[in-house]
């Protein structure tokens, strides 16, 4: 069965801008969306980890996706974060996002519960059966405490509307195994900005990126160069932005990327608790790196 690709290239894991009182700053969100479209982002991922989904109410979460779909107006795919550690809640959110006309869903593994591989399979199968939208599996064991094994990926790839995965384990050997087992049935996206070219070399279709909040066009170009056959150029760009990528993970994501955007003049506000501001030492280091890349005065 041939599965339609949701996007190819660099999808931006969007931050959620906040006002001083902690509410969502929709005018700034609109500005960020327009910047992403203008600068060649290949897709937008709304209310994922970088979008602070875990501290959004369901009402805020769905309003954010509704706003993004209407603001993007079909120019690029809008992928809605809809995962939960409760299967019933993930099914509910998936249905709601489908009703809001998102183009696809990003479903993180159930966190904290530490489900078995069979539990993960049944969780994703339940979500897939509840909607017609294409689904991207999201594996980030450092944050969730559970890893999708390559064999479970293979089983899930047999489900018609499970079409891709965001593989953020950081394990290139696992990514190679997934690509081998699921060839033609599951598109792979790197979930790590420091492994884009490496992932592409194993057949990945792109990246779901934090870096693209800062440099959407440049992240797109890392992928585009590879797809155009200039693997050397893709690798050179990957290495060129490596220090910036590392700086964006000086603290827990999305703390540094929101701090960076603020330093660049975009009022995205602070993260919601329990995530808090970086300490002064890390702020200074981040600013120094942004200055190296001529992103701040």
User: What pLDDT was estimated at residue 8?
Assistant: 98
Among residues 128, 138, 195, 202, which one has the least CA distance to residue 160?
A: 128
Q: What is the pTM of this model?
A: 0.96
Buried b (16+ CB within 10 A) or exposed e, 118-128: ebbbebbbebb
Q: Would you give the DSSP letter of residue 195?
A: G
60-118 pLDDT, tens digit each: 999 999 999 999 999 999 999 999 999 999 999 999 999 999 999 999 999 999 999 99
Q: Are strands 43-46 and 78-81 parallel, antiparallel or unpaired?
A: parallel
Tens-digit pLDDT string for the chain (297 aa): 568 999 999 999 999 999 999 999 999 999 999 999 999 999 999 999 999 999 999 999 999 999 999 999 999 999 999 999 999 999 999 999 999 999 999 999 999 999 999 999 999 999 999 999 999 999 999 999 999 999 999 999 999 999 999 999 999 999 999 999 999 899 999 999 999 999 999 999 999 999 999 999 999 999 999 999 999 999 999 999 999 999 999 999 999 999 999 999 999 999 999 999 999 999 999 999 999 999 998
CA 257-260-265 angle, to 5 degrees, is 130
Distance CA 24, CA 85 (A): 24
Backbone angles phi, psi at 89, to 5 degrees: -70, -40
User: What pLDDT was estimated at residue 3?
Assistant: 85
Q: Would you give the DSSP letter of residue 211?
A: G
User: Residue 165 forms beta bridges with which residues?
Assistant: 137, 188
Domain boundaries, the chain: 9-231
User: What pLDDT was estimated at residue 1?
Assistant: 58
SS3 percent helix, strand, coil of the chain, rounded to 5, is 45, 15, 40
* CA distances to 122, 138, 289, 292 from 116, in Å: 10, 16, 41, 45
H helix or E strand, kind and range, residue 199: helix 196-201
Among residues 169, 43, 151, 165, which one has the least CA distance to residue 106?
A: 165
Please identify, in words, the CATH class of the domain defined by 9-231.
alpha beta
Contact (Cβ atoms closer than 8 angstroms) between residue 186 and residue 164: yes
Q: Would you give the DSSP letter of residue 18?
A: B
| Catalytic center residues | 138, 166
H helix and E strand count, the chain? 13, 8
């Amino acid at each position: 069965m041939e599965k339609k690709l949701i996007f190819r290239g660099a999808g931006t894991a969007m931050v959620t801008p906040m006002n001083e009182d902690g509410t969502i700053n929709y005018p700034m969100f609109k500005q960020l969306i327009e910047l992403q479209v203008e600068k060649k982002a290949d897709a937008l991922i709304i209310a994922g980890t970088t979008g602070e989904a875990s501290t959004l109410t369901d009402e805020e979460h769905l309003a954010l996706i509704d706003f993004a779909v209407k603001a993007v107006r079909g120019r690029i795919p809008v992928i809605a974060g809809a995962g939960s550690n409760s299967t019933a809640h993930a099914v509910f959110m998936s249905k709601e996002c489908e009703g809001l006309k998102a183009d696809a869903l990003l479903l993180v593994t159930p966190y904290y519960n530490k489900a078995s591989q069979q539990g993960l399979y049944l969780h994703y199968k339940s979500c897939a059966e509840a909607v017609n939208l294409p689904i991207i599996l999201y594996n980030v064991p450092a944050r969730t405490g559970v890893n999708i094994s390559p064999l479970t990926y293979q089983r899930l790839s047999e489900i018609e509307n499970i079409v891709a995965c965001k593989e953020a384990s950081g394990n290139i050997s696992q990514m190679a195994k997934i690509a081998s087992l699921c060839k033609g049935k599951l598109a792979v996206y790197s979930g790590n900005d420091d492994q884009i070219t490496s992932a592409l070399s194993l057949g990945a279709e792109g990246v779901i990126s934090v870096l693209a909040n800062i440099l959407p066009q440049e992240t797109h170009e890392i992928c585009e160069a590879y797809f155009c056959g200039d693997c050397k150029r893709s690798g050179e760009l990957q290495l060129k932005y490596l220090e910036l990528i590392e700086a964006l993970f000086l603290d827990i994501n999305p703390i540094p990327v929101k701090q960076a955007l603020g330093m660049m003049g975009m009022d995205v506000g602070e993260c919601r608790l329990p995530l808090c501001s970086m300490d002064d030492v890390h702020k200074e280091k981040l600013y120094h790196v942004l200055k190296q890349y001529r992103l701040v005065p």
